[in-house]
Every structure is written in structure tokens, then in C-alpha cells.
A and B are shown apart, each in its own frame.
Chain A
Amino acid sequence: MNDFENYLNLITKINLPLLVFLFVIIFYIIGAIFIIYHLARFGIGKAPKNLIIFFLIGAVILLIINFAFFSSIDWTDLIKKVSDFSTEF
């Protein structure tokens, strides 16, 4: 149990949730750039160009929502609750 608590403390110290979230976001942004690049460069006609706008609007909105929820979470408290929950079992 001490090992598990130490592990959870380590997660809090190095802010692992932030690192994981940033990794996911960076990966997402790279994918979004690839999609926009391909549609802009190789798309023929108006439909691919309209798709870029639609994709960007949705991507920005969802990213903002995700950042808002991520920053509203007290990760230390959450990890503590997970630790308490696992202790009960």
C-alpha cells in the first residue's frame, strides 16, 4: 500500500495528468494540421475548403472546452480521492 501511495504522490509531483493531456493535445494538433494541409492542397472544388472551416470551428470549440474542464479539475484532490477509494478496497 505504501508503494501505491508513493506512486500516487509521484504522479502529483511531476504533474503527470498535465503531461498526458499536453501529449494528447499536441498529437491532436499535428493531426489537425495534416487534415487541413491535405484538404487545402489537394482538395478540388468548394466542398473540401468548406470542410476546413467546419473542422476548424469544431476543433477550436472542443479544445477550449477540454482546456476549461482540465483546468477546473483539482488533480491533487482527485488523486487523493482515488487513493482513498482504493484504500477502502
Chain B
Amino acid sequence: MLTFPWQKSYEKVELILRRHWLVLFFIYLGFGTLFLIGPLFFYIIKISMNLTDPLILNFSLFLLFLYLLIIWQLLFLTLTDYYLDTWIITDHRILDIQQIGLFKRDVSELRLSKVQDVNVKVKGLFPTFFNYGDVIIQTAGTVPEFKFKQIPNPYKVKDKILHLFDEFTKKHINDVEVHEM
């Protein structure tokens, strides 16, 4: 069962969304290349300069592993940003959680009754073939628009939101939250 930390006792989580796995793939691809460049560069230098002195070799290996250590941390900083950007859809509300850097976090919340319009944008070769795109929710709230970026199955997500909106308005006449009365 899907849950999140500040979930209300009466609400049920329908979807927890993150950006499509292809975004993650490109992150891993980029950093994988950086991981390979270091040893490759070391190997080229070793062969071309014919490094045989153990002291110089050890120093070069030390620099190589220091480089890998830094790349490792940069990779996980990027992954932290990916995994902390989350969209949560419950049967009562929609939450947009955006992690911006390490020390800035934006959390926007929208009651389902405030949903006015839901649009889907799938643009480009990869999004079309891998079925991911943006879902844009026009709202009647303070934040005029909620944007789910690069999420998988955007059309199904749109249908789900509209279905949840219908269910919510049937159960909450005049938008009264009966669970908190």
C-alpha cells in the first residue's frame, strides 16, 4: 500500500509519480561515461608516459580514486534531486513536491475540487516512443497551474485525475470535508 509521511488518516494514495525512467537512464549514462573517462585517462597516461615508478603510479591512482569519489557524490546529488521530485495523487488532493538544490523545497497542494482542466503534452521522439510527457492541471487555487513533468503514461494519469475529481465531487457536496467535521 502506498503511503507518504503527511498523509491524512482518511485519504488513500492513488498514485506516487516521478519522472520517467528514461530521465534516470540518461543520468546514469552521463555519469557512467564520467566514471569511465577517469580510468581511461589514467591508462592512456600510464602507457604513453611509460609510468613504472611505484611512487608516481600510486600517486596517479590516488588522484584517480579521488576523482571517482567526487563523481560518486555528484551522481547521488543528482539522484537525490530526481527522487525527491514527486507528485502524489490521493482521493482527496494532489501534491507537487519539488526539491530545488539541497536546501530549497517547494510543496504545493491542490484539493481535487479545485481542478478545472487537465491537459497532456507529449512532444518529441523519445516521449512518443516511450510514452511519457507533461500533465498540466489548470486550477482554481492560488497556484494557477500544476505541472507534472516527464511522467510515464500521462494519458492514464489524466484519466485518473478526472475520475478522482468526479468521485470527490460526488462524495463532498459543496466541497465540505466530512472527515474533519
Question: B73 to A38, Cβ gap below 8 A?
Answer: no
Chain B residue at minimal CB-CB distance from A41: B5
Residue pairs across A and B with CB atoms within 8 Å: the count is: 75
Chain A residue at minimal CB-CB distance from B63: A69
Number of A residues, CB within 8 Å of B: 30
Chain A residues closer than 8 Å to B68, beta-carbon distance: 62
Query: How far in angstroms is the closest Cβ of chain A from B123?
Result: 27
Which secondary structure dominates where chain A touches chain B? helix
Which bracket fits the contact residues of B?
A: 20 to 34
Whether B23 is near chain A, meaning CB under 8 Å from some CB there, is no
Query: How far in angstroms is the closest Cβ of chain B from A15?
Result: 15
Question: A73 to B55, Cβ gap below 8 A?
Answer: yes
Whether A78 is near chain B, meaning CB under 8 Å from some CB there, is yes
Residue among B59, B72, B97 making CB contact with A58, cutoff 8 Å = B72
Query: How far in angstroms is the closest Cβ of chain B from A34?
Result: 5
Q: A28-B73, A63-B69 are in contact. Are A44 and B55 (CB under 8 A)?
A: no
Q: A38-B99, A44-B4, A51-B79 are in contact. Are A59 and B62 (CB under 8 A)?
A: no
Chain B residues closer than 8 Å to A48, beta-carbon distance: 80, 83-84
Question: B73 to A31, Cβ gap below 8 A?
Answer: yes
Q: Which of B53-81 contact A (CB under 8 A)?
A: 53, 55-56, 58-59, 61-62, 65-66, 68-70, 72-73, 76-77, 79-80
Could you pull out 5 A-B pairs where Cβ atoms are within 8 angstroms?
Answer: A44-B86, A44-B97, A45-B16, A69-B61, A73-B58
